[in-house]
Each structure stands twice: as C-alpha cells, then as structure tokens.
C-alpha cells in the first residue's frame, strides 16, 4: 500500500470518527457547528502550517497553533458524542483565548483580528442566546480596554509576532467565517419561519373561509328547519281546530237527542239516570274539545285567563258518575263518601271528600 493511499485511509477514518451521531445528527445547530468546526480546522491547519514555513518564530507559532487546532478538534469530538453545548463552550472559549493572544502579540488593538470579538459574540448569541452574547461582548470589551490602557501607558505594543499579508488574510477569513455562518443560519431559520407563518396564515384564511361557508350553510339549514317547524305547527293548529269543530257537530247532536229523550215523562227513572250520565259525559267531552281549542289559542298568543267559581260537590258527583260505568264493567262498585261540610261550602271553596272502589 502506497503512502498516499495510507494517508487517504487515515483521513477517511478520522472523518468517520468525527461524524455526527444520534440526536446531534438531526439538530440543525449541531450540524452547522460541525461544518463550521471542520472548515475552521482546515483553515487553521493551513494557516499554522504556512506560518511555520514563513515566520522565523516557530516556537511561538507552535504555541499559538496548538490551542487553535485543539479547539475545533475538541469541539468535533464532543459533537460526535452528542455534547452540543459543551462543544459550543469549547469553541467560544478556545477561539477567544487564541485570538486574544494573537491580537496581543501582533500590536494590540490596532490588529485586524480584533474583529473576531464581534464574530464570537454573534456565535454566542446563535448557540446560547442573548445573555451569552452579552457575556462574550463584555469580556471582549474588557480585554480591548485593558489593551488600550496598556498601550496608553506604553506597556506592551511590541510585535512579538510580526504578521504577514497572508496571515492577515487568513485571520480575516477565519473571523468572517465565524460571523457569517451563524448569521446565515439565523437568517435561514427566520426565512423558514416566515414562510411557515405565511403558509399557516394562508391555511388559516382557508379554514376561516370554510368556517364562514359552514356557518352560512348551518344558518340556512336552521332557518329552513325553523320554517318547517312553524309550518308544521300551523298545520297542527289547523288540524286541531278542524278536528275540534268536526267532533263538536256529532257531539252536539248526541247532547241534543239525549236531552230530548230525557224529557220524555214516560221514560223509566233508571234510563233517565243513564241518559243523565250520557249527557254529562258528552258535556265533559265538549269541555275537552274546548281545551284543545284553548291550546291552539295559547300557541297563537290569543288566550285570555278567566276566573270562575265551581261547586265542589257537583264536580265530585259528576266525576264519580262518569267513571261508574267503566268501574261496573270491571266488576267494581264506585261510590263517594263526602263530609257533611261539603254541602255547606260556597262555590270555589274546598272541602274534604274521598272516593273509593270496592
């Protein structure tokens, strides 16, 4: 096996070992941080490698390069083990320390790498929210202020690590990458959320329109049902009124002829009493028909309440006489026991009376 093939296999195994697994593989934040760490690792390796060749301060370059390479590698290992928050903390702390050292060793606050503080604050807001971004911004401002004070007091400002044009460009690319990737992800999420919001709003309008149509349909059905109910009620009232009048015609004939037959003096007393019962029953049926007509008047809103008096003794006797034939058909004797006070009561007063069947 050749050396290039062996190096390619090692590289593939390394990528396989650092790939995302488990929940992190489905987490957009973990996926973006993983891609960012891979890109930073490649850029840092190129940056440190070429700096080792160009710059004569190889020991200092190595001292700075170790944490810069160690930071993305450690973050990738943590991401592979589903420790997304820990990977984010390592990324922010490691890069802040490495770039602060680079800024201090390359002229302090006048160095272009100072822009990385803004990128780290943006990354902190993306990974942990606004509170983390404020912490990173506060620490960065404190470090910048300290460097400014030291420069004012003519302490430091020596260029232990004179930068090259290539190094400056690499620092600019790394800083831009750390700032652009989170912003791009946030904008993508905002765009996606806006699209979902518009889709949900459109769907809501469709549901609202359907609901309005359904309400109109149900309202029309209710109006139709109400009209049908009113029509049925009117038909019922008309039917009751017609039937009541139809029943009154033969009933009046029965009452009239029973009265004529009862007035015959040659009629035996027993038959006369039976005709009295027939007559009272007819009158009772006539009152029931009047009640049906009253119900129709009530439904039409044309009922009038009347107060009238009645004789309790007469009412009780009529009730017993009406039920006596039915009782005799069943082999029962129906008779009325009434208190002597009942006869002395005025109409529409109440007395005590009991009815029984034997």
* Per-residue pLDDT tens digits for 124-169: 888 888 898 899 999 989 988 888 887 777 665 555 555 567 677 7
Statement: residue 67 has pLDDT above 70 = yes
For the chain, percent of residues with pLDDT exceeding 90: 7
Output phi, psi for 354, to 5 deg. -130, 145
Please name which of 189, 159, 210, 183 lies closest in space to residue 55, comparing C-alpha atoms.
159
Out of 81-95, 205-219, 278-292, 301-315, least confident range: 301-315
Output phi, psi for 335, to 5 deg. -140, 160
Statement: residue 56 has pLDDT above 80 = no
Statement: residue 199 has pLDDT above 80 = yes
Torsion of CA 47, 49, 50, 52, to 10 degrees: 120
Task: Check: CB of residue 92 under 8 Å from CB of residue 133.
Answer: no
Please tell me the predicted confidence (pLDDT) of residue 138: 92
Please tell me the predicted confidence (pLDDT) of residue 156: 54
- How much is the average pLDDT of 222-250? 78
Please tell me the predicted confidence (pLDDT) of residue 357: 42
Please name which of 67, 72, 88 lies closest in space to residue 133, comparing C-alpha atoms.
88
Task: Please report, for the chain, how many H helices and E strands are present, in that order.
Answer: 10, 2
Can you read off the two tokens belonging to residue 201? Answer: 């709003």
Statement: residue 25 has pLDDT above 80 = no
Residue with tokens 């470090």: 143
Please tell me the predicted confidence (pLDDT) of residue 7: 46
Out of 5-14, 177-186, 246-255, least confident range: 5-14
Statement: residue 239 has pLDDT above 60 = yes
Top-confidence residue, 138 or 35 = 138
In the chain the beta strands, taken as DSSP E runs, fall at 334-338, 353-357
Please tell me the predicted confidence (pLDDT) of residue 355: 43
Please tell me the predicted confidence (pLDDT) of residue 60: 67
Top-confidence residue, 135 or 251 = 135
Statement: residue 53 has pLDDT above 80 = no
Q: Which DSSP category does 301 fall into?
A: T
Please tell me the predicted confidence (pLDDT) of residue 160: 56
Out of 67-71, 140-144, 175-179, 325-329, least confident range: 325-329
3-state secondary structure of 177: helix
Please tell me the predicted confidence (pLDDT) of residue 127: 86
Top-confidence residue, 346 or 351 = 346
3-state secondary structure of 356: strand
Please tell me the predicted confidence (pLDDT) of residue 211: 92
Can you read off the two tokens belonging to residue 243? Answer: 């039937």
Model confidence, pTM: 0.51
Top-confidence residue, 71 or 111 = 71
Residue with tokens 């593939």: 12
Statement: residue 70 has pLDDT above 60 = yes
**Residue 299: band (very low, low, confident or very high) from pLDDT cuts 50, 70, 90:** low
Please tell me the predicted confidence (pLDDT) of residue 349: 43
Give the C-alpha separation, 182 to 333, whole Å. Answer: 104
Burial class of residue 167 (count of CB atoms within 10 Å of its CB; 0-12, 13-18, 19+):
buried
Please tell me the predicted confidence (pLDDT) of residue 215: 92
Can you read off the two tokens belonging to residue 310? Answer: 């009645």
311: left (phi over 0), alpha (psi -120 to 50) or beta: beta
Measured N-to-C along each axis, helices 269-300 and 312-329 cross at an angle, to the nearest 10 degrees, of 110
Please name which of 71, 91, 99, 67 lies closest in space to residue 170, comparing C-alpha atoms.
99
Report CA 162 to chain centroid distance, whole Å. 63
Give the C-alpha separation, 164 to 282, whole Å. Answer: 127
Burial class of residue 79 (count of CB atoms within 10 Å of its CB; 0-12, 13-18, 19+):
buried
348: left (phi over 0), alpha (psi -120 to 50) or beta: left
Give the C-alpha separation, 33 to 84, whole Å. Answer: 9
- How much is the average pLDDT of 312-317? 76
Top-confidence residue, 308 or 141 = 141
Give the C-alpha separation, 42 to 73, whole Å. Answer: 11
Please name which of 106, 98, 113, 99 lies closest in space to residue 159, comparing C-alpha atoms.
106
Give the C-alpha separation, 145 to 148, whole Å. Answer: 5
Please tell me the predicted confidence (pLDDT) of residue 9: 61
């Amino acid at each position: 096996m050749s050396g290039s093939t062996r190096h390619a296999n090692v590289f593939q195994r390394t990528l396989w070992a650092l790939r995302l697994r488990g929940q992190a593989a489905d987490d957009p934040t973990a996926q973006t941080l993983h891609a960012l760490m891979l890109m930073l690792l490649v850029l840092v390796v190129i940056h440190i490698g070429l700096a080792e060749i160009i710059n004569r301060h190889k020991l200092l370059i190595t001292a700075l390069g170790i944490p810069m390479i160690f930071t993305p590698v450690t973050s990738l290992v943590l991401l592979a083990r589903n420790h997304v928050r820990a990977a984010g903390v390592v990324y922010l702390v490691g890069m802040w320390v490495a770039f602060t050292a680079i800024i201090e060793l390359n002229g302090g606050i006048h160095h272009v790498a100072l822009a990385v503080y803004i990128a780290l604050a943006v990354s902190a807001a993306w990974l942990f929210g606004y509170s983390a971004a404020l912490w990173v911004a506060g620490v960065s401002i404190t470090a910048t202020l300290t460097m400014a004070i030291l420069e004012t007091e003519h302490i430091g400002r020596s260029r232990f690590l004179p930068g090259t044009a290539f190094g400056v460009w690499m620092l600019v690319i790394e800083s831009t990458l750390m700032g652009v990737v989170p912003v791009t992800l946030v904008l993508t999420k905002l765009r996606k959320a806006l699209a979902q919001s518009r889709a949900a709003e459109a769907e809501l309008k469709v549901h609202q329109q359907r609901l309005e149509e359904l309400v109109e349909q149900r309202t029309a059905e209710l109006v139709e049902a109400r009209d049908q109910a009113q029509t049925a009620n009117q038909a019922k009232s008309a039917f009751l009124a017609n039937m009541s009048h139809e029943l009154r015609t033969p009933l009046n004939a029965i009452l009239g002829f029973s009265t004529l037959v009862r007035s015959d003096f040659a009629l035996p007393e027993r038959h006369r009493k039976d005709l009295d019962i027939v007559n009272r029953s007819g009158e009772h049926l006539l009152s029931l028909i009047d009640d049906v007509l009253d119900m129709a008047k009530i439904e039409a809103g044309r009922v009038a309440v009347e107060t009238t008096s009645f004789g309790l003794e007469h009412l009780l006797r009529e009730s017993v006489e009406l039920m006596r034939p039915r009782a005799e058909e069943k082999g029962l004797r129906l008779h009325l026991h009434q208190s002597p006070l009942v006869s002395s009561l005025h109409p529409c007063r109440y007395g005590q009376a009991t009815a029984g069947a034997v």
